[in-house]
Structure 1
Amino acid sequence: MDRMSFIGQQIYDLRTDRVPRLTQRELAERAGVSVDLIQKLEQGRKATAKITTLTAIARALDVDLSALLSRRTFLEGVPDDGGLLALRRAITPVLDPAAPGGSVEELSTAVADGWRAYWSGDYKTLAGTLPQVIEGARAADARDQLAEAQQLASCVLVHLGHSDLSLIAVGKALEVVEDPLLRTAIVGTHSWVLLNQGRSDEASVLAVAEADAIEPRRKARAEEVSLWGNLLVTGATAAARDGRSDEARDLLRAAHGAAVRIGEDRNDYQTAFGVSQVVMQGVDVSVVAGDYVKALDTARRMPKRSQLPRAAQARHMTDVAHAHAKLGHFREAENLLTRIEQFAPQWIRYQVFVKAVLAEVLQRGRPTSKTRTLARRLGVG
């Protein structure tokens, strides 16, 4: 057997570690895909597949999509204070918080600092500081600061592969939040967490239902329109992953109207929205559908002065690199992958999708020495 990709190894392990073990044919039949596809993934002749296909395979194996994508469940380094175990205790407390409650201003500053670390991919710092912020906000009965810290923890935990704990964290945030706009932002996070678990149907229903409930009036404030638009693009992304491409396009058209209405990229309540976000999700929807030519065409509409957060820009660049690789444009894909590491060096180390694109370039292209060096740094064979 050839050396497997990340995803191929996971499929093989999850298929064979059963009693009785599943055959490749049985797995293919359960997932509604071809035996040839399963064979190519397991043998390393394909590094990845469409998200809708991977979701079907994950469901057939009775696991979350995140398990199939082999995301990290540990940090690159061990923080001096806090850490994942401390974060779990803070999210699911049994005893009264040990940390003293800070002032609302101090807690708000700590949460804002946390979001800056998140958007740069500095999960180690967050794992070290978030437990104290959550415990401090709980001790001070600062409900919105507690909700936002738990929302932030939920986002970090998705990237570290702890999807169930992430879902608990966002649920607890919704239990305590008071600010109605912050609640809307957290509902968007809730939908995104479900999406990352492969529960795209539920993610879409949740986002669209919230969007319908808060649809802004004619004279609504820009932040209200922005949060509404973000729910629309989240719903579109989920619908695309659930195989409902027509609904995804309808939602994106409505989101584009909202983006034009506010006229700028915004990041209200750490929730990015604007024309840049609509373009980014339009590329994502086309990639999910396997229409890579359209994905690249849509990407050309990205505003030159996009105000998307750093991690979002890096994720968009990964989609574009993926489309180039699928079309055989390997030099373009390599150049983008190198730029992503330069642009978001901490973020990239936790991103399995980036590694899958890189693995495909290694397998199908003629990679440069720079690309091979990048692959070694990221642990991609």
Structure 2
Amino acid sequence: MDNSKGLGSRVAQERKLKGWTQAALAQRAHVSISLVKAVEQGRAPASSAFVSACARAFGLSVAELLGQPYPRTNKDEHDMYASVSAIRRELAAYMIEPVEDVEVRELGEISKDVARASRLRHAVSLAELGAEIPGIMAELRAAVFTSTDSARERAFGLLAEAYAAAGQVVYKLGYTDLASLTVERYEWAAARSGDELAVLAGDYQRAGELIGTADYASALRFLEKRRSTIEREVGENDAPLLSMWGSLHLKSALAAARAGNRELADDHLGEARETADRIGRDRDDYRLCFGPTNVNIWSVGLAVELNDGTEAVKRAGTFTIPRDAPRERAGHHYIDLSRGWLIHGDRAKALGSLQTAKKIAPSQTRYHPMVHETVRVIARQEARSTETLRGFAAWCGISA
């Protein structure tokens, strides 16, 4: 497909190659024909749910339909993308004892590097993280072969966290199939860590994979089953367990919102909010960043997923993101809010939110497909594009 074109053009192109009418696509993707027409004509932004539904109908991956990974336009991008091949090699060798001798430090020292990798992940410092994470994974792979008993379990737990960090690099650069492989590797390592909550963090990621393929019913059923394993312990006020409980409810809320079930989405959001209030502060157990701030951020995103821009804008006005919030979460909030403003009908504020996201998390904003989609729709709706809009589009590497 032509990556210089917007999503609407690619949907129309693939639909025509299939020999389908717009009505046929709408029927197969379980969306309205008016939405198909609006997206193809660039009059409305495509939601993540719309993209997943169309990709499933076409028999494509979401990345293929979005045109990811995007072309590299400068040396910095080439350098950053270079980490992908090293990550791929390490994921392929995950259960093979290193052929060459690898110096393995004490796990306490390695854990400091893993913690730094997770901080880089939250800061969306993709270049630094991509440069460091393959070596960390290689050392931990060697550690699981040289450790025994509880030390080996700890090594597996650290390896699982490293896989999650690597997954964010490849996912944000548009290698979604490789990101799916990191989820499998995370599950494999977590299952050997002796940590029940680490296993549930893998289930959280697995549910995200189901949602990404528009299998919302399976995601909801799976999440319900996995939450039941800790339900009896929720009353004990164990903070890490409560963080996991609340995070799994947020993921269920997303599945429900993508399925168009507002009532169910609000129910799960309410459960998550109640749990966050019980904890009383933001935490980062298993790198899920659960707490009052994240629940507020999710509340805006869920309204956007339900195509209710007015509610998204309203919710965003009820809270302020703390200065110390992870840049990944804060940047994602403004990307979602931009989509909310666009649906609400305020293009200027939609662009303003994108500029805020750029200041907070530039790499995440530059490569986010929903940012590209939002910019193109703003440009289509504007009678004459402004210098600010043209500059932002050029920075993203797209022609608005």
Question: With structure 1 as the length reference, what TM-score do the two structures score?
Answer: 0.89
The alpha carbon displacement at 1:217 in A equals 3.3
> For the structure 1 residues 245 and 37, does the alpha-carbon distance in structure 2 shift closer, same or farther, using more than 3 Å as the test?
closer
- Could you list the runs of 5+ residues in structure 2 that have no partner in the other structure? 145-154
1:171 aligns with 2:171: no
The alpha carbon displacement at 1:108 in A equals 1.3
Is the Cα–Cα contact under 8 Å of residues 321 and 330 in structure 2 kept in the other structure?
no
2:147 maps to none
The alpha carbon displacement at 1:294 in A equals 1.2
2:197 maps to 181
1:244 aligns with 2:244: no
Alignment of 1:190-205 (within 5 A): 190-205=206-221
137, 140, 146: which one pairs with 1:137? 140
The alpha carbon displacement at 1:314 in A equals 1.0
Worse-superposed segment, 288-297 or 211-220: 211-220
1:67 aligns with 2:67: no
2:354 maps to 337
The alpha carbon displacement at 1:304 in A equals 4.8
Alignment of 1:182-331 (within 5 A): 182-215=198-231, 216-305=233-322, 307-331=324-348
The alpha carbon displacement at 1:224 in A equals 1.6
1:100 maps to 103
Equivalent AA in structure 2 for residue 48 of structure 1: P
Separation in structure 2 between the aligned mates of residue 285 and residue 345 of structure 1, nearest angstrom: 23
The alpha carbon displacement at 1:70 in A equals 2.9
1:77 aligns with 2:77: yes
1:55 aligns with 2:77: no
Runs of 4+ in 1 over 6 A off after TM superposition: none
Separation in structure 2 between the aligned mates of residue 202 and residue 306 of structure 1, nearest angstrom: 37
Separation in structure 2 between the aligned mates of residue 74 and residue 361 of structure 1, nearest angstrom: 22
- Could you list the runs of 5+ residues in structure 1 that have no partner in the other structure? none
Equivalent AA in structure 2 for residue 139 of structure 1: A
Identity of matched residues, %? 27
Superposed CA deviations along residues 238-284 of structure 1, whole A, max 9, x for unmatched, are: 12112222211111111111011011111112111112222222212
The alpha carbon displacement at 1:164 in A equals 2.8
The DSSP-based 3-state class of the residue aligned with 2:97 is coil
Separation in structure 2 between the aligned mates of residue 271 and residue 369 of structure 1, nearest angstrom: 38
1:377 maps to 395
Superposed CA deviations along residues 5-64 of structure 1, whole A, max 9, x for unmatched, are: 52123213433455xx44444323322445554344334x33523333333222211123
Aligned CA-pair RMSD:
2.6
1:147 maps to 160
Question: With structure 2 as the length reference, what TM-score do the two structures score?
Answer: 0.85
Equivalent AA in structure 1 for residue 157 of structure 2: D
> For the structure 1 residues 72 and 17, does the alpha-carbon distance in structure 2 shift closer, same or farther, using more than 3 Å as the test?
same
Worse-superposed segment, 7-16 or 168-177: 7-16
The alpha carbon displacement at 1:167 in A equals 2.3
Equivalent AA in structure 2 for residue 41 of structure 1: V
> For the structure 1 residues 82 and 36, does the alpha-carbon distance in structure 2 shift closer, same or farther, using more than 3 Å as the test?
closer
The DSSP-based 3-state class of the residue aligned with 2:289 is strand
| Count of aligned positions | 376
Separation in structure 2 between the aligned mates of residue 81 and residue 343 of structure 1, nearest angstrom: 21
Worse-superposed segment, 345-354 or 3-12: 3-12
1:116 aligns with 2:132: no
Separation in structure 2 between the aligned mates of residue 329 and residue 40 of structure 1, nearest angstrom: 18
Q: Which has the higher helix share?
A: 2
